[in-house]
Amino acid sequence: MSEARKLLCEVRRRYTQEQLAQLLNTTARNIRRWEVGETDPPPYLADAIRQRLLPLTNLGEPEDCDFRFIDLFAGIGGIRMAFEAHGGGCVFTSEWNPYAQKTYLANFPESAHTLEGDITKVDERDIPDHDVLLAGFPCQPFSIAGVSKKNALGRAHGFADETQGTLFFDVARIIAAKRPAAFLLENVKNLVSHDKGNTFRVIKKVLEEELGYHITCQVVDGAHFVPQHRERILIAGFREKTDFSFGDLVLPEHRPTMKEILHPQDGSERPEAHYTGGPKAKVDERYTLTPKLWTYLQAYAAKHRAAGNGFGFGLVGPDSVARTLSARYYKDGSEILVSQGPRKRPRRLTPRECARLMGFPDDYVIPVSDTQAYKQFGNSVVMPVMREVARAMKPRIMELIDPELAKQKSLLVA
């Protein structure tokens, strides 16, 4: 029997089918079908029952955590891992991609809550109360028209319209409903300049004016922590004014190079099938470019050099810092090709090296194909960056969770 059906049978002791239908926004007919096993209840029903009908003691929340957070557009869990490192406990996860879900569940098997798929179909009332909202939300184009035109057409404007149809809208509606103490949003650097700055203007307007949060933004380069230039904008928001600043981040003085993430191939690390093999854990030949692909990439680069363009492959060695790893890396690996010596064809990074390039530990499980792994790491966050942000945000989060502590601090400062 599924978890959702078990919970449904439990609450049926206290509610009629008609009452449950009203409380769960469905029909009595559906309740009857789920109860008798005629059809399977949707997975989200379990969380809906917990949130709306069961006592908090039944939520299956993580124990001994300092604060509670939700993980939206979770990908493969890089932001979750970072905030767990500083005492956070995850109470809700949403990720729509089934391959990313597989990787996420392989690395966080102890999660008591259901991993939800499409966040647009999740009622905000079904999301547990939380202290921090985390979201690496996708950036989709915003369509903004003049308010006068909207009024003339009899259409809504402002918050209800400007973000309609975008996934940022789902972040905003959850913040509006649950009012967490803080949030952290992550996106590509170009979010600031997208649509001549209109996209970012709308996001700031919603977060500050509509939702009333105090936000701070900063573009941070992952190269401080990993050998990869990867600039991402981070938006930290707090329900009340705090002294948080991205200037609080402690960025390492030593900048790593590729030798710190490449397979040493000298026997000092254990082989990992199918990435490396043999007594010296040599990189498998499958990662070396074929003669045809290498010829094509060289010709492509030469063509663009002649035209005065900067397009071409990125060749790295042990002392290099790589370009940004992208989700298209599986196609030809051209942005980061590892040199294997003169007159030898270069190779792609292995998925394990990609994991290291994003700051994931070597015990991170990669249960999917190389193609899916390349997509996942190319779409992920630089985990150590997020871990440092979590460290800097935590004292302010704790102050908002415990107002008495904040009051005592203000008296000491005064």
Q: Structure tokens of 99?
A: 């391959």
Q: Helices 44-53 and 3-11: crossing angle, nearest 10°?
A: 30
CA dihedral 198, 201, 202, 208 (to 10 degrees): 180
CA 102 distance to own-chain centroid: 15
Instruction: Tell me what percent of the chain is helix, strand and coil, each rounded to the nearest 5.
Output: 45, 15, 45
Residue whose token pair is 């030798």: 259
Beta strand 214-221 pairing with 282-283: unpaired
Instruction: Give the C-alpha separation, 87 to 67, whole Å.
Output: 7
Q: Report how far residue 263's alpha carbon sits from residue 132's, in angstroms, rounded to the nearest whole number.
A: 37
Q: How many CB atoms lie within 10 A of CB 89?
A: 18
**C-alpha neighbours within 13 Å on the C-beta side of residue 296:** 8
354 contacts 373 by C-beta, under 8 angstroms = yes
The torsion angles phi and psi of 281, rounded to 5 degrees, stand at: 55, 55
H helices within 287-402, ranges in order?
A: 291-306, 329-332, 351-357, 370-379, 383-401
- For 107, phi then psi, to 5°, come to -100, -15
Catalytic residue ranges: 139
Helices (H), 24-155: 28-36, 44-53, 78-84, 98-107, 147-153
Amino acid at 397: I
How many angstroms separate the Cα of 311 from the Cα of each of 3, 232, 302, 337, 412? 52, 22, 9, 14, 57
d(C-alpha 341, C-alpha 74), whole Å: 39
For the chain, the maximum distance between any two Cα atoms, rounded to a whole number of angstroms, is 76
